[in-house]
Structure 1
Amino acid sequence: MKIMKDKEMALVKEILAKLGASEEDQELVAEATVDADLKGFTSHGLGRFPQYLISIKAGTINLEDNIIIEKETPAIALINGNSGFGQAVSYKAMQIAIKKAKEVGIACVGVHNTNHFGVTGFYSDLALRENCIGLVLANTDPAIAPLGGKEALIGTNPLALGIPSDSYITVDMATSVTARGKIIESKRKGLDLPDGWALDENGNPTNDPEAALKGSILPFGGFKGYALSLLIEILTGPLVQAGYGHGVTGTASPDKDCTKGDLYVVIDPSKFGDFDEFKAHTEDFISQVRATGETVAIPGDLEVKRIAEAEANGVAIDEKLYEQLKGICDDLDIDIGSYVEE
């Protein structure tokens, strides 16, 4: 089974409309969900969407969301997301960061009291569209055990960084070997995990996704990934007045209040010098990189390829996800057959 881009947008929006979400939230959640699927991060697209509905029913996503700017300077803002959709809160936070960066050169916006927002790179892309550099950090429910420890304490803590250019230059990655969403997706599909991804609750290597979810995911690159995830935990926890360590809930437990934090950093290259010159030099460097070998890849190349393929052929939906979506649609009197193709 598969779903085409426009159909996926329409399906998500219709479901959210039936649940009482605002038109703005419908649009933003749909855009972020489709963006994840087109880029191949299916664990954060429709595959994660049923969790948002659990949160809505549990009241941990506030349909009457309205962000509150609690503190502000020309370059900094601290936002209370008021438990709104993570996608909507993050979009607004990034727009504030972009506006401030265009005024003073660099801006940093912290967010607390928000929700899971999909893929991190969706928000750094917003900065690229405005010819700005975008950096996005977030923390999550504990998933990584400190190096040498057995108990999960640190989140998979993703980061996304995008550079404006004629090429699509961006990285969107968890600081763990894999995102928790991929573990959840493997469990749904009944697939074993690759070696080296996770430990069970006793600290032993495991290929069982259920055991991994009870245990911990390994950081990428050993100490380097662990150190990076730990530092991001501080920048998106204590710094922005959000949860940290055991205090983070809601990203993997949709029926609990979400206590994660986010940090959005935007840099306007034009404040350093001529933007066209910056872009030309960046493209020259990318050309040098590509010239070093026929199979050389630039961060972002894979997403460009995946987007083109998904827009042409649609996004695959496995049987278990289809059944989840069908159950949601049946409850809301929506004909899923008008959206999903066999």
Structure 2
Amino acid sequence: MTEEAIRITSEQMQDVFYKLFVKYEFAEGKAKLLAKVFTESTLVGVNSHGINRLPLFIDYVEKGLVKIDAEAEKVATFGSLERWDGNLGPGIINATKCTNRAIALAKSHGMGLVALRNTNHWMRGGTYGRQAADADCISILFTNTQPNMPPWGGKDSRIGNNPLVVSIPREQGHVVLDMSISQFAFGKINDYRLKGEKLPFPGGWDANDELSNDPEKILTKERGLPIGYWKGSALSIVLDMLATLLSAGDSTSKIGTREFETGISQVYLCIYPAVFGDKNLQQKLIDEIITYTHDVAPMNPGDKTYYPGERSAMTRTRNLKEGIPVNSNIWKKIMALSS
């Protein structure tokens, strides 16, 4: 049985989240940052990695899997490349810190890379792509995960849906690609389950090894479908290799030996395009591509094409005006946790 959606203002949501994190003894600054990021993810319509995931985050805190006082620390420097250890601190705190460091390295060297190990889920990866773009940097960011997809042709999950983020700063609206290497992120599949809806396309395998668009059947065994079938499978493996190699951290295979997803590895690469000294040309080239892709007849009347990040910006504007739609059952859980 599904629950109806209700609308909450962003101010109310952020205030409730902040009080919840303070209740769980996060320092004031960390509580504010966590509340802001969870709210912003929900505001742009990514409830799966915003409000819907907050109860699980609190569960990880209660289990001691997320160390509330820990945060990422630098362990090695190689010029414009650095290795950091997350010390199992909150993924949002660690990701924000490492993105800032990659930005600083990029502004000093033209390009900077921070490889982070031993951290927790960063929630919505696009948060950090936008953070880099706001600082006038291009970013390429990715993370490994627990095994939740079969390698192409395999029966059991051995690879992760390893989200990939690419962002490009743009005055009229940043370009922000934020995608998992599975056809649907598992949080998104759960969104459809909460709504009582089927996926618009197959998203994984059911217990009978058949591709399915039924969220309940896919979530039973968590065997997601890679984007591009065998190509997505290969991309997932390579991203896991890079995150593990660069951070000297744990791979999906090691993460999969644990009961819970923790101790993951991530990469934060930033480029400072101002070093080229041709900002106007850069913006012209980006706009040229966007205009060309916008200017196409839709297959279905009334449809249109979008660049990565465009629809989330539109959702943000609408939700600021109308309130953020959230599942009423999820809101009840959060209010219960806050009381």
| Structure 1 and Structure 2 fold alike (TM over 0.5) | yes
Deviates more, 1:281-290 or 1:144-153: 281-290
Equivalent of 2:9 in 4, 22, 29: 4
- Contact map agreement 2:88 2:263 (CA 8 A) in 1: no
Equivalent of 1:96 in 82, 93, 101: 101
Structure 2 residue 318 is the aligned partner of structure 1 residue 321 = no
Equivalent in the alignment of 1:225: 232
Deviates more, 1:80-89 or 1:276-285: 276-285
Following superposition, the deviation at residue 113 of structure 1 comes to 1.2
Following superposition, the deviation at residue 202 of structure 1 comes to 4.5
Equivalent of 1:107 in 100, 112, 131: 112
**Hey, what's the Cα distance between the residues in 1 that align with 2:128 and 2:248?**
21
- Contact map agreement 2:146 2:261 (CA 8 A) in 1: no
Deviates more, 1:51-60 or 1:18-27: 18-27
- The alpha-carbon distance between structure 1 residues 297 and 277, as it changes in their structure 2 partners (threshold 3 A), is same
- TM-score scaled by structure 2? 0.90
Equivalent in the alignment of 1:286: 290
Following superposition, the deviation at residue 192 of structure 1 comes to 4.0
Following superposition, the deviation at residue 68 of structure 1 comes to 1.5
**Hey, what's the Cα distance between the residues in 1 that align with 2:39 and 2:134?**
18
Following superposition, the deviation at residue 200 of structure 1 comes to 2.5
**Hey, what's the Cα distance between the residues in 2 that align with 1:291 and 1:195?**
26
- The alpha-carbon distance between structure 1 residues 148 and 249, as it changes in their structure 2 partners (threshold 3 A), is closer
- The alpha-carbon distance between structure 1 residues 186 and 281, as it changes in their structure 2 partners (threshold 3 A), is closer
- Contact map agreement 1:151 1:215 (CA 8 A) in 2: no
Following superposition, the deviation at residue 283 of structure 1 comes to 2.4
Equivalent in the alignment of 1:302: 311
- Residue 236 of structure 1 aligns to a residue whose secondary structure is helix
- Contact map agreement 1:188 1:320 (CA 8 A) in 2: no
The amino acid of 2:204's aligned partner reads A
- Residue 29 of structure 1 aligns to a residue whose secondary structure is helix
Structure 2 residue 217 is the aligned partner of structure 1 residue 211 = yes
Q: Could you report, residue by residue, the CA deviation over 1:4-44 in whole angstroms, capped at 9, with x for unpaired residues?
A: 11111111111000110012211221222122112211111
Report the RMSD for the aligned CA atoms in angstroms. 2.1
Count how many residue pairs are aligned between Structure 1 and Structure 2: 327
- Residue 216 of structure 1 aligns to a residue whose secondary structure is coil
The amino acid of 2:237's aligned partner reads L
Following superposition, the deviation at residue 285 of structure 1 comes to 3.4
Structure 2 residue 240 is the aligned partner of structure 1 residue 236 = no
**Hey, what's the Cα distance between the residues in 2 that align with 1:93 and 1:244?**
19
**Hey, what's the Cα distance between the residues in 2 that align with 1:37 and 1:58?**
25
- Residue 51 of structure 2 aligns to a residue whose secondary structure is coil
- The alpha-carbon distance between structure 1 residues 243 and 202, as it changes in their structure 2 partners (threshold 3 A), is farther
Equivalent of 1:169 in 163, 167, 175: 175
Q: How does 1:1-342 map to 2 (within 5 A)?
A: 1-167=6-172, 168-213=174-219, 214-248=221-255, 256=260, 258-293=262-297, 295-329=304-338, 333=339
- Contact map agreement 2:140 2:269 (CA 8 A) in 1: yes
Between the aligned residues of both structures, percent identity stands at 26
- Contact map agreement 2:118 2:250 (CA 8 A) in 1: no
Following superposition, the deviation at residue 296 of structure 1 comes to 3.2
The amino acid of 2:310's aligned partner reads D
**Hey, what's the Cα distance between the residues in 2 that align with 1:325 and 1:23?**
19
- Contact map agreement 1:249 1:260 (CA 8 A) in 2: no
Deviates more, 1:233-242 or 1:1-10: 233-242
The amino acid of 2:101's aligned partner reads I
- Residue 160 of structure 1 aligns to a residue whose secondary structure is strand
Q: Could you report, residue by residue, the CA deviation over 1:203-244 in whole angstroms, capped at 9, with x for unpaired residues?
A: 222344343231401011212222211211112223312222
